[in-house]
Amino acid sequence: MTASSQWTSAYAPGRVELLGNHTDYNEGVVLGGAIDLGLSVSGRVRDDGVFSIQSRSMGRVTIPVSELRPQTGDARWANYALGVVSEFIGRGISVPGFFAEVKGDLPPGNGLSSSAAFEVATAFFLQKLCPASFAPMEIAKMCQRAEERFAGVRAGLLDQATSIFGKADHAVFFDARAAEVRTIAFPPNLALIVAQTGAARELAGGKYNERREETRAAAQALGVRALRDISSVDLAARRDLPQLLRRRAAHIVGENERVWRALELLERGDGVGFGALMNQSHESSRLNFENSSFELDQLVQAAQNLPGVLGSRLTGGGFGGATIALCERPRAPEIAVSLSAAYAKQTGITPPTFVCRLCDGAR
């Protein structure tokens, strides 16, 4: 069998962010988990020096190796993979031309990190194709840089790290400053329900990057390296901070404190306390960070009003996308149906909802 006919494949899951909204690029702490929806990248070497990436829903992008650069227009979706290729080349890896096909059940643009799953699956695919070998955290960092340089989103490292380090039936705790990960057993009597708003969502070049600049400005005004380095008590005492920056900082500082508290609650199996933190987190997103939306608020409120739901919040960057609800496991299937019906009654949109399982990371 020639090299050009050898077929290889890699898979990476999406993720939910349980607590720690926008804290990763502020050197903070986050709690998330890899979920049982994801993407695969499968393909083989080509002998003609061309990169060809195909998706049934997005189409095909084909460019010569010598013309590797960010794509525009309808081809932008391929930038997440092409950016990873560029990172490999930048590390001195000779990446041959290849054909790759992208498949999966992870919906794009819904706050479940389809972009990071695409990047991570591409990186694992390239490691087998080239071949090459990088440490897992280094792969996460390469994928993060790919997203910034080729897709224009200055995201943190949470999404890639969670997709790589996920563990079945465990939450993933990520310390962005230390770039360290540990997994924490998730209480078996609790379940997570993801609901999609159906609203359009676009992070590149938009409000996500704007929030990043605002939090950086808040840290500078407070005289700290990052918002991780100030407590909510100290922040409340600072009367010299402009009101907008105060609200942005309050969200990040509060989220970090909620994550630390959540670790204690998870170890005790305290779902009621954990759910309360999720509710507080969403309220802070709505009022302080302004990264919620009408549709997200409707979904969260609908979930919070259902018996058996312990807490709900937006998940991911916000500005549309999806919500996550914590509930009693035996009632999860009926809650998912009821949540979809309640949102449809309010908005006229029947949202996809599903009970998600915390799963293993990329492979």
Q: What whole-number distance in Å separates Cα of residue 25 and Cα of residue 28?
A: 7
Q: What whole-number distance in Å separates Cα of residue 149 and Cα of residue 126?
A: 18
Hey, which residues are catalytic here? Answer: 159
β-bridge partners, 170:
185
Q: Are 160 and 117 in contact (CB under 8 A)?
A: no
With b for 16 or more beta-carbon neighbours within 10 A and e for fewer, the 46-81 pattern comes to beeebbbbbbeeeeebebebeebeebeeebbbbbbb
Q: What whole-number distance in Å separates Cα of residue 166 and Cα of residue 182?
A: 9
Alpha helical stretches, state H, 269-324: 271-284, 294-304
Query: 130: how many CB neighbours lie within 10 A of its CB?
Result: 15
Q: What whole-number distance in Å separates Cα of residue 40 and Cα of residue 102?
A: 6
Q: Which amino acid is at 319?
A: F
Cβ neighbours for 33, distance < 8 A, ≥ 6 positions apart: 15, 16, 18, 162, 166, 170, 171, 172, 186, 192, 358
Tracing tokens 């987190």 back to the chain, one arrives at: 281
